[in-house]
């Protein structure tokens, strides 16, 4: 079962930039309004052409709606997430967080076996977070589509 609205994000360490830099989502979102979105894989077509660019492009609009922190999670290593973020201009806007073994993704119950991407991956989703708790959750119906988890949909929900 996946994480539910009202529940607190698990304190499973994610990595930002390098494997040595650990991030706890409850700490990152403590006392803040935030957006957390996840993708099946960095540098994959839908994630690179639509999902991440939408959040980068809508950064100012999200901030204007009261969002303090934006973070992206994928079951990839920290170096890949860092390079992917840089390739899309996410520096200073979006925390590009790696979940290399999928521990966080499994803990929130949003994992999927995506053989075409090498096995365990995250379903595509977005969340609105208030002080470390899930206020809204939008999971793509098939786990991979590009509809309810996009930045424009999240903006409408804020």
Rounded distance between C-alpha atoms, residue 43 and residue 105, angstroms: 18
Rounded distance between C-alpha atoms, residue 136 and residue 83, angstroms: 29
Examine the residue annotation and report whether 72 is marked as an active-site residue of this protein: no
The single residue of 14, 35, 38, 47 carrying the catalytic annotation is: 47
Burial class (CB in 10 A: 0-12, 13-18, 19+), 8: middle
Cα 49 to Cα 4, 57, 71, 92: the distances in Å are 29, 12, 18, 20
Do residues 71 and 94 lie in contact, with contact meaning Cβ atoms separated by under 8 Å?
yes
Q: Which of 39, 41, 10 is nearest to 27 (CA)?
A: 10
Tokens of 1: 């079962």
Rounded distance between C-alpha atoms, residue 85 and residue 130, angstroms: 24
Residues involved in catalysis:
47
């Amino acid at each position: 079962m996946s994480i539910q609205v009202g529940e607190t994000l698990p304190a499973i360490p994610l990595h930002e930039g390098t494997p040595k830099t650990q991030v706890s989502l409850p700490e990152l979102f403590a006392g803040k309004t935030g957006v957390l979105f996840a993708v099946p894989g960095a540098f994959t077509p839908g994630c690179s052409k639509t999902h991440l660019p939408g959040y980068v492009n809508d950064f100012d609009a999200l901030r204007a709606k009261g969002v303090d922190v934006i973070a992206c999670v994928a079951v990839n290593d920290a170096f890949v997430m860092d390079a992917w973020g840089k390739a899309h201009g996410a520096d200073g806007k979006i925390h590009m967080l790696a979940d290399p073994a999928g521990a966080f993704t499994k803990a929130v119950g949003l994992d999927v076996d995506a053989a075409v991407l090498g096995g365990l991956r995250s379903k595509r989703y977005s969340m609105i977070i208030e002080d470390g708790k899930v206020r809204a959750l939008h999971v793509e119906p098939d786990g991979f589509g590009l509809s309810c988890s996009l930045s424009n949909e999240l903006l409408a929900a804020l």
